[in-house]
Structure 1
Amino acid sequence: MESARAGRFTPTALMLGNLVTGCSVLAPAGMLPELSTGLGISIHAAGLLITFGAITLCIGSPLTAWLTSRIERRTLLTTTLAVLALGNIASAFAPDYTSLLVIRLMMLAVGALYTPQAAGTAALIVPVARRGSAIAYIFLGWSLAAAVGLPLITFIASRYGWRAAYGGIGVLGGISFLLLLLRLPAGLKGTPVDLKTWSAVGRNGTILLLLAITMLQMSGQFVVFTFMGPLLKKLTDAGPDAIGMVFGIYGVCGFLGVVIATRIVDTWGPYRTSLLFTCLLLAGITGWAVGAGSLGLMAVAVAIWGLGFASTNSMQQVRLVAAAPRLASATVALNTSVLYIGQAVGSAIGGLLFARELLHPLGFVAVGFVVLALILVVLTRPRPAAAAA
C-alpha cells in the first residue's frame, strides 16, 4: 500500500507547500503601501491584486481538479510548486502593475491546484483514523504563511522593497519543490473527477451548506484582512513594525488554533470543533469592529480572530471529507474554490469601503458575514445517528 511507503516527513513536506501557496496568495496584503508607492498606483488598485487573484483561484481550483485528476500526485504537486516558485521570481522583476497582475494571474491559475490536491494526497498516505488530524496538519502551512510569512513580507518590503519580498517567496518555493520531490511517494493517484462527480456534489444538500459556510467565513475575514495594514495605519497611525507585529499575532494565533483543532478534532468531532472556532472567529472580528481606533484593542481582537481563521477552514475540509468520502477530491477542490470566492467578494467589498473612507463600517460588514456563517454551522449540526461526522 502506498501509504506504507510515505515517510514521517511527507505530511510536513505537503504542509510546507501550503506555506508557499499561502505566501503567494497573501503576499500583496503584507506590502500594499510599498506596491502602491513603487508602482505608482492607489492602495485600492494594489488590493485588486488579491481580488483578481482570488477570482482566478476560485475558477481554477475545480477546473484544474477535473483536468488533472488522473495525473500522478507527485508529478502534479511538484510541478505546481515549481510554477509558484518561478512566478514569484518573475514578479520580482515585473516592470509595471499590468505585468505584475498578468504574472500573478498566470501563476495562481496553476497554483489553484496545490491546496485541494495536497489535502486529497494527505488522505491517501495516512490511515483513516488519522485522516482528520492529517488534513488539519496540512493546513498549518496557511497558518504559517500568516504567522511567519506575512510579518516577514512586511518587514522585507518596508526595508528592501516589494521586489525583494517576492524574490524571497520564490526561493522558498524552490526549497519546498525539492523537499516534496524527495519525500512524496511516486504512483499516488486519487479517484478521477468526472461530470457524474460534480452532479453528485450538486445533489448533496449538506455539502452545499458546508461550501456556503466557507464562502461566508472567508468573505467576512477578507473585508478586513486585505486592507489590515492600511487600516491600522489610518485608524491608529501604526508604523510598519507595529503592523508587522499585528500580522504576526494573527498568524501565531492562527497556528495555535490549528494545532488545537488538530489535537481535539478526532475526539470532539468536526462539527463541535468547527462550532468552537467559528465562535472565536466571530468574537475576534466583532472585537476589531468595536475596538477600531485603539491599537491595543485591535491587536487583542486579531489574536482571538487568529485562533479561528485557519482552523475553521481546516475543519471545513474535514467535514466535507467525512460527509462524502468518495466525493472528497471534488468537494475539497470546490471548498478551496469557494474559499477564494470569499476572498474575492470580501476584498472587493473591503476595497470599495476603504476607497470611500468608510473605515469603521467596514468592520461591521465583516461581522455580518461571519454571523451568517455561524447560523449555517448550527444548521449543519449532525443528527444523533450521525453525530460522529
Structure 2
Amino acid sequence: MPLALLALAVGAFAIGTTEFVIMGLLPEVAAGLGVSISHAGYLISAYALGVVVGAPLLTAMATRLPRKAVLILFMGLFAVGNLATVLAPTYETVFASRVVAGLPHGAFFGAGALAAAQMAGPARQGRAVARMFLGLTVANIIGVPVGTLLGQEMGWRAAFLVVTAIAVVAMVGIAVFVPRLERTGSGRLMPEVRALGNTQVLLGLLAAVFGFAGVFAVYSYIAPMMTELAGMTGGGVTVVLALFGIGMTLGSLVVGPLADRALRPTIYVALGALAVVLALFTLTVHNPWTAMASVVVLGAVGFGVTTPLQLLVMNKAGAAPTLASAANHSAFNLANAGGAWLGGLGISAGLGLSSPAAIGAVLAVAGLGIAVTAGFLDRGAQAGPAAPAAGSADASARESSRVS
C-alpha cells in the first residue's frame, strides 16, 4: 500500500503544482501571450472553472468504470490539458487548455481519496487520505517555488511541461502499484445524485465552502500583506509561501490520526483554531517574525480542515460516496474563489490590507457554526426511532464510532 499511496500522492503533487505555479508566473505569462496581468489572472479562474464543473461531471460519467481505471483516465486527461498549455499558441487556446487541465482535478482527488480509504480499511482511513494529500502540500513547498524559478529562467511553458511529465509518472505508478479495487456502491448515477442531496453531505460541503474560504481570503493577498505590512522583500514572500506549504504538511500529518479517532471533534477544533489564527493574524502580520510563524500555523490548521471534511462527506454519502467525494473538491474551489473575492472587497472598501484576515475569521466561524449544527442534527437523527437508510448502515456505524 505505501507505493500505491505514493503514486496517488505524486498525482496530487502534479495537480497542486499546476494550480498554484501560475500565480508566480503571471508576469511571464502576460508578456509571453501579449496580454495584461489582469487578463493573465483570468487563466487562474479558467482552471478553477474546470475544477468546479469537472468534478461532478467526470465523476458522473465514470460511475460504472473500475476505480483504478478512473484514476488513470483522470490523470491522463490532466496530462493532456497541461501539454495543451505548453503547445497552445494564443491566449484563447491557453485559456481553453487551463479549463481542460482543471476538469479532472476534483474528480481525481475524489476517486483517489476513496481508493486510499478503501486500501487502508475503516480504522486507518484518515491516515491514508492525509498521506495522499501530502502530495498537494509538498507541491506548495517544492513544486511551486521550483516551477516558478524554472518558468522564470526557461520560459513559463517549461513549468507546465514538467508538470505534464510528473502526471505521466503518476499514471504509470497508479497502473503498477494501485491494486484492482472492487467498486464500493452500486455503480449507478442516480444513487450517487441522491447521496449528494443528503442533508449531512450538503452541510459538510457548505462547511467546506465557508471554512476554507477563510484561508483563501488571506492566502490570495499574502504577497502584499508581507511586503507592505510585515516589511518583507519580494524574496521573503517566496519563503513565506514555502512556510505555508510546510504548515500544510504538518497539518496533514497530524490530522489524519485525529480524524480516525474522533471525526467531528477534529472538524470543530480545526475550524475553531482557524478562526482564532485568522483573528490574531490581523495583529501578527505587522511583524515579519510573528507573520511567518502565523503563516505556518495558518497552513497547518487550514489544511487540518480538509481531510476530516472529506471523510465526513464520504461516510455520510453511505453506499454511493463517489460523486459526493468529488463534489467536496468543487466546494473547496468555490471557497478559493469566494474567499479571494470577499477579501478583495474588504481591501477595496478601504478597510486595509489586514482586513482579509478579519473577514476570513468570520468565514471560519460561519463554517464552524454549520459543522456544529450538522453534528447536532446527526445526533438527533441517530437518537430517533428511524433506521438508517439501506446500504448506509456500515458507514453510519463507522462514523458514530469516530464521533463518540
TM-score, normalisation: structure 2? 0.84
2:374 counterpart of 1:380: yes
Give 3-state SS (helix, strand or coil) of 2:375's partner.
Answer: coil
2:118 counterpart of 1:124: yes
Out of 309, 314, 321, the residue aligned to residue 328 of structure 1 is: 321
Residues in 2 aligned to 1:240 and 1:85: alpha-carbon distance in whole angstroms: 31
- Give the equivalent residue in structure 1 for 2:251: 257
The answer to whether the 8 A contact 1:277-1:308 is kept is yes
Residues in 2 aligned to 1:169 and 1:119: alpha-carbon distance in whole angstroms: 21
- Give the equivalent residue in structure 2 for 1:303: 296
- Give the equivalent residue in structure 2 for 1:284: 277
* Gaps in structure 2 of 5+ consecutive residues: 384-399
Residues in 2 aligned to 1:46 and 1:228: alpha-carbon distance in whole angstroms: 19
* Gaps in structure 1 of 5+ consecutive residues: 1-6
What do residues 335-364 of structure 1 show as CA deviations (whole Å, max 9, x unaligned)? 122112222222344456667886333332
Q: Which has the larger radius of gyration?
A: 2
- Residues 297 and 158 of structure 1: CA distance in aligned 2, closer, same or farther (over 3 Å): farther
The answer to whether the 8 A contact 2:46-2:96 is kept is no
Instruction: Give how far 1:257 is off.
Output: 0.7
Q: Which moves more between the two structures, 289-298 or 58-67?
A: 289-298
2:212 counterpart of 1:198: no
2:109 counterpart of 1:112: no
- Residues 294 and 86 of structure 1: CA distance in aligned 2, closer, same or farther (over 3 Å): farther
- Give the equivalent residue in structure 2 for 1:246: 240
Give 3-state SS (helix, strand or coil) of 1:185's partner.
Answer: coil
Residues in 1 aligned to 2:294 and 2:349: alpha-carbon distance in whole angstroms: 24
TM-score, normalisation: structure 1? 0.87
Instruction: Give how far 1:43 is off.
Output: 4.2
The answer to whether the 8 A contact 2:124-2:257 is kept is no
Residues in 1 aligned to 2:36 and 2:345: alpha-carbon distance in whole angstroms: 12
The amino acid across from 2:80 in the alignment is: L
The amino acid across from 1:142 in the alignment is: L
Matches within 5 A, 1:347-358: 347-350=340-343
- Give the equivalent residue in structure 2 for 1:4: none
Identity of aligned residues (%): 23
- Give the equivalent residue in structure 2 for 1:146: 140
- Residues 270 and 255 of structure 1: CA distance in aligned 2, closer, same or farther (over 3 Å): same
The amino acid across from 2:193 in the alignment is: W
Q: How many residues align?
A: 381
2:54 counterpart of 1:60: yes
Matches within 5 A, 1:1-389: 7-186=1-180, 188-191=182-185, 192-202=187-197, 204-236=198-230, 238-267=232-261, 269-350=262-343, 359-381=353-375, 383=379, 386=400, 388-389=402-403
Instruction: Give how far 1:302 is off.
Output: 0.9
Instruction: Give how far 1:334 is off.
Output: 1.8
Residues in 2 aligned to 1:180 and 1:354: alpha-carbon distance in whole angstroms: 44
Residues in 1 aligned to 2:290 and 2:169: alpha-carbon distance in whole angstroms: 38
Residues in 2 aligned to 1:370 and 1:334: alpha-carbon distance in whole angstroms: 20
Q: Which moves more between the two structures, 153-162 or 127-136?
A: 153-162
- Give the equivalent residue in structure 2 for 1:3: none
The answer to whether the 8 A contact 1:287-1:297 is kept is no
- Give the equivalent residue in structure 1 for 2:388: none
The answer to whether the 8 A contact 1:21-1:115 is kept is no
Superposition CA RMSD, Å: 2.7
What do residues 165-208 of structure 1 show as CA deviations (whole Å, max 9, x unaligned)? 22222222122121112112236434224224323432x32222
Residues in 2 aligned to 1:335 and 1:61: alpha-carbon distance in whole angstroms: 9
- Higher-RCO chain (CA-CA 8 Å, sequence separation at least 6): 1
